[in-house]
Structure 1
Amino acid sequence: MRISSERLDQIDESNLLPQVAEPLRQARDDLRDVTGALDAASNAAAIAPDMLGIASPRNYLLMIQNNAESRASGGIPGALAVLTVDNGKLSLGAQISASEFGVISPTLPVDLEQRSIFSTRMGKFIQDVNLTPDFPTAGSMAQAMWEKKTGQRVDGVLSIDPVALSFILNATGPVQISNPELLALSGGGLPSELNSSNVVPTLLSDVYAKIKVPQLQDAYFAAVAQELFSAVSSGKSEPEKLLSSITRGVAENRILLWSNNEDEQAIVSRYPISGSIAGPSVSPAQFGVYFNDGTGAKMDYYVERTVQLVKECPRDGYEQTTVRITSTNTAPANAGQTLPAYVTGDGVFGVTPGAVQTNIVTYGPMQALVEAAKLNGERTGFAPHVHSGRPVAVLAVQLAPGETKTVEVTFAKIVQHAEPNVVVTPTVQAVKDVTLPTENAACG
């Protein structure tokens, strides 16, 4: 099958009639899909047994990302735990919150390119390891921090967010929060049963309104995580439904994996689950739009965003593409007075309570250039950078309650003549509502 695919790829279709060229392209696409699926199955079979602890138990650092406070790969790693996999069976060990984890001193080294974009905070706070969208960097940084704090060297890092948990709950069915002390924390204001419909608003919004003390919020998160992973490891869910739920989480970049084993990571890096910004998992004309919170709070729960690629008219023989990002703060007008201070940030980092500040980090394809940036149609300044050969533009945008702003970043001299695609930070919103279809500019 691979030989057939390679033979079809060698055919020059430029001189073929449309009636022949179109079936040829369809056959190429179909064979690539089948070949890719077979390769993925083969690679999974090669590494899955060891990664699932068939030969010996594996320990992974589990990071549950909180999308209410954005980081490039999803949200701050608000809760941490060691996930042990022994012969395929999951068990969750002791947990710790990011705030309990504390400051890493001395700060871990950060490479020069990423330091210039994301600062040395990546090596100082566990909450900031994923300011970078490159999950292999974030994973290795988190592993080093965990070892420095606990003395335990984990075999890898697994990240998941509450939206992915909602997918999994759709397969396992609801879980019960039966601990009476835990239920009493909220005064009965939080559900005793978590399901695929209520787990996201419960964990990313309601818990802050019902439980005022951050340490008690952490206790609630820990108990919920324990119940959820107990449900997964119990084997009560339908395998096909569970696999489908996990696959969806991976497809939406809500489940990410980094392995400390170089041979395993070399295979993982071929696929989107690696969260890499360069390498074999990244398509030639890939753009990236990533959000890092600048409010120091949990206001991203209220931000709705859309991201769209606009293929501009070619210039000087090169492709041009504009990345359009529209953000709206849907918080109520009186959010500064009605939402908990822990959610608004209470102005501690210089942002008016109720407003949201976001650092928008936009990546272009390899070898392209950032030509210009606009804010609400007017040219604006931006910070230009390069990361792993990809051009990067960074802009800070602040939104008052009810306010909408649109950022446009234009990339020029795109040499990859391939269909563009865009990877976006997974948020509370469904991916289908964030990533809009590519638009073609009218060229005269």
Structure 2
Amino acid sequence: MTSNDDGQTRDKDLHGPESQRGRTRGESRRRIIRRIGFGVLGFVIAVGGAGALLAHQVSSVRSQLVYAMDLAPQLRADVESEDHRAAEIILETIQEQTSAARSTATGPLWKAASYIPVLGSNFSAVREVAVSANDITIRAVAPLLDRYGSLNLQTLSPTDGRFNIAEIQEAAPSISTAANTVQLSYQRLASLDLSRLLPEVAQPVSEATEQLEKLTEILDTASSTSQLLPAMLGADGPRNYLVLVQNSSEARATGGIPGALVILHTDDGRVSLGEHTSAVALGAFRPTLEVDSEQVALFTGRLGTQMQNVNLTPHFPTAAQTATLMWEERHPDQKIDGVLALDPVVLSHLLEATGPLDLTDVQVLAQIRTTGLPSSLTKDNVVPTLLSEVYKEIDDPEAQDAYFAAVAGRVFSAFTEGQGDGTQLAKALGTSIKENRLYLWSSHPSEQSIVASTPLQGSVTGRDAGGTAFGVYFNDGTGAKMDYYASRTVQLVKSCQAGEYSQYTVRVTVTNNAPNDAGTTLPAYVTGEGVFGVEPGRIRTNYVVYGPSQAFVETATVDGQSVPISSGRHGQRPVGTVPLELGPGETSTIEMLFSGVVQNSEPLLRVTPTIQPSKEVIGPLERDTCG
């Protein structure tokens, strides 16, 4: 009984309420586990599928962008060869590829991938590249190609001395749209943090950003030019422009002494040359014309006494305004609408496009008959002729400047008459602007505000002087034409940073390449005959160095020896000046130290243009080795 009772009791225990609850809990746990298992399996399958799909999308986007980029050179070739239909076909293909890449890279899966830790930033970067590529193709390249006829450089070149203003005006909106689109795309890519990207992503993004930066500069200049040209070419009435032909044999901060002067007339697109004369012929101005006192403190009152000295300051707007006042005082019946400055190297660039030119000026031809000066100008002989040979053959300074002005006028005539290839002429002007050999100022405030946004402005204060900007400018102290024999190199050296501020040393190395017997064999007008206290054959130059805004100029040395430094400020920029005199064959190095540089951007260095190629003058940034 007992055992049966015990068995029944145990059986009751096994099938009672408590046992039922336990079995229910166990089955629930098993069901939950099964569900979790199936869920995990489903998640793994989904992730695997998404991963495979994402990998496919990455491959597709990469292929589409690479294919589009590979077609770009062909598009450029078709445009340059004027095969408009072929260019349209290539552009359609590029649009298809970039649109497909954009669609994928902005899709939900790609967006989700951009949130993946570590790798997500790479997906975001590629998305920005795809969007930028598509924007540029549709909103920049396509509108420009639609305006192809108006934008053709041959069409934009003058014909019989006249520019087609209407075509320039029609093209302006397309150029402006393209410039804005590229600018926004550049800003989008420039804002990416490359340090967070994989190398295989960071490198092409960096390269694309650099290319967009260059394209931005080109299109911004083109946009500004298309806005300026109609009015400047006389669309709203006749204009007069004063052209300063800067003589690089006697250095001035913006390039050279403005010895030759030419008046340029424009009216309804037609361009013609007016009076050409010399700065000497204008004489001295008494009383001295009023010039900005801050610049007078740096460069003396000579800025307002003679046309030859208006560009002792590197700030071209000041030089141009002063030159305008001087011309209008001597010619009260003639209003100047703007000032253009260039040097003989610009003329050589233009002659490369136009080809050789025969001189036609009656007075110049008379001089040629009695001298050894060439009767035909080429890209190779124009610089030595104007900066050296003319002084050996012509004694009278006014006659020298007249020859100079006549040569410049002949080159201008060829340009305005449309002689030469339009593409080559545009390239010549672009090279001249890039080398800071071409400056422009307008007396019309609305136009000057546009000029101020271009590389033509020649300003040392304001927007272009922001950041870590340095400038090294040369002003002749010999009172002669000896700079033809000077060669210079300029370099920045960044010191190890201490705290929040940086230090930079500006290093200028100068050589006098004149022959040893220059004092006796070179013409007196070239050596100066010691009139200004410089022994014939020697070169004396004042080196004016600008540092970044709010920095300080500390010390200066010549060949390692401390020298006195004349210092001041222009705007918020520190300015130091050191004179240097060298005999034939001598070389010296000036070093000027700037402290308290708060800017941390890549440094920008501007230097007075000379007859040397700019790439030979400006050296690479050097950094001191930190221990």
TM range (shorter): over 0.9
Contact 2:492 2:621 in 1 (8 A): yes
1:168 aligns with 2:350: yes
Residues 172 and 372 from structure 1, CA distance in 2 versus in 1: closer, same or farther, beyond 3 angstroms? same
- Partner Cα separation in structure 2 for residue 169 and residue 213 of structure 1: 27
Q: How far apart, CA to CA, are the structure 2 residues paired with 1:252 and 1:42?
A: 20
Distance 1:420 1:336, change over 3 A: same
Mapped partners of 1:63, 1:8: distance in 2: 41
SS of 1:272 mapped into structure 2: coil
1:3-402 correspondence to structure 2 within 5 Å: 3-12=184-193, 15-16=196-197, 18=199, 20-151=201-332, 152-178=334-360, 182-186=364-368, 187-402=370-585
Letter aligned with residue 348 of structure 2: S
CA distance in 2, matches of 1:7, 1:236: 42
Equivalent pair of 2:224/2:454 in contact (CA under 8 Å): no
Aligned-residue offset at 1:283: 4.9
Q: In structure 1, how many angstroms separate the alpha carbons of the residues matched to 2:207 and 2:402?
A: 53
1:42-86 per-position Cα deviation (integer Å, ceiling 9, x unaligned): 322222211122332221001100000000000111011211123
Q: Is the contact made by 2:243 and 2:261 (CA closer than 8 Å) also made in structure 1? A: yes
Q: In structure 2, the residue corresponding to 1:270 is in which secondary structure?
A: coil
Bigger mean CA deviation after superposition, 73-82 or 20-29:
20-29
Distance 1:23 1:126, change over 3 A: same
Tell me which moved more, 151-160 or 1-10. 1-10
For 2:522 and 2:338, how far apart are their aligned partners in 1? 37
User: Whole-Å Cα distance in 2 between the matches of residues 197 and 46 of structure 1?
Assistant: 34
C-alpha distance in 2 between matches for 1:22 and 1:46: 36
Counterpart CA distance in 2 for 1:217 and 1:5 is: 49
Whether the aligned pair in 2 keeps the contact of 1:269 and 1:279 (CA below 8 Å) is no
Aligned with residue 421 of structure 1, among 604, 612, 615:
604
> Where does the alignment leave 5 or more consecutive residues of structure 1 unmatched?
none
Answer yes or no: is the 8 Å Cα contact 1:271–1:281 preserved in 2.
no
Q: Which is further off, 89-98 or 120-129? A: 89-98
Please state whether the residue corresponding to 2:549 is helix, strand or coil.
coil
Q: Secondary structure at the match of 1:297?
A: coil
Once the two structures are overlaid, the 10-residue window that deviates more, 81-90 or 393-402, is: 81-90
Is the 8 Å Cα contact of residues 143 and 157 (structure 1) preserved in structure 2? yes
Report the more deviating stretch, 315-324 or 2-11: 2-11
Which region of structure 1 is more displaced relative to structure 2, 56-65 or 195-204? 56-65
Q: In 1, Cα distance between the equivalents of 2:349 and 2:220?
A: 26
1:238 Cα deviation from its structure 2 partner: 0.8
By how many angstroms is 1:419 displaced?
1.0
Displacement of 1:422 in angstroms is 0.9
What is the CA–CA distance in structure 2 between the aligned matches of 1:7 and 1:141, rounded to whole Å?
Answer: 42
Q: Is the 8 A contact 1:270 1:279 kept in 2?
A: no
Report deviation, 1:88: 3.2
Identity among equivalent positions (%) equals 50
5+ residue gaps, structure 2: 1-180
The number of residues matched between the two structures is: 444
Separation of aligned partners in 2, 1:302 and 1:221: 19
Q: Secondary structure at the match of 1:281?
A: helix
Question: In 2, distance between residues paired with 1:436 and 1:353?
Answer: 31
Q: Which structure is larger by alpha-carbon Rg, 1 or 2?
A: 2
Greater strand fraction, Structure 1 or Structure 2: 1
Give me the CA root mean square deviation.
1.9
Alpha carbons of structure 1 residues 322 and 138: separation in structure 2 relative to 1, 3 Å:
same
Relative to structure 2, which stretch is displaced further, 153-162 or 306-315? Answer: 306-315
Using the alignment, how far apart are the partners of 2:428 and 2:613 within structure 1?
A: 14
CA-CA distance at 1:111 after TM superposition: 1.8
Secondary structure of 1:249's aligned partner: helix
Give me the whole-angstrom Cα distance separating, in 2, the residues matched to 1:6 and 1:421: 20
Amino acid in the other structure paired with 2:228? I
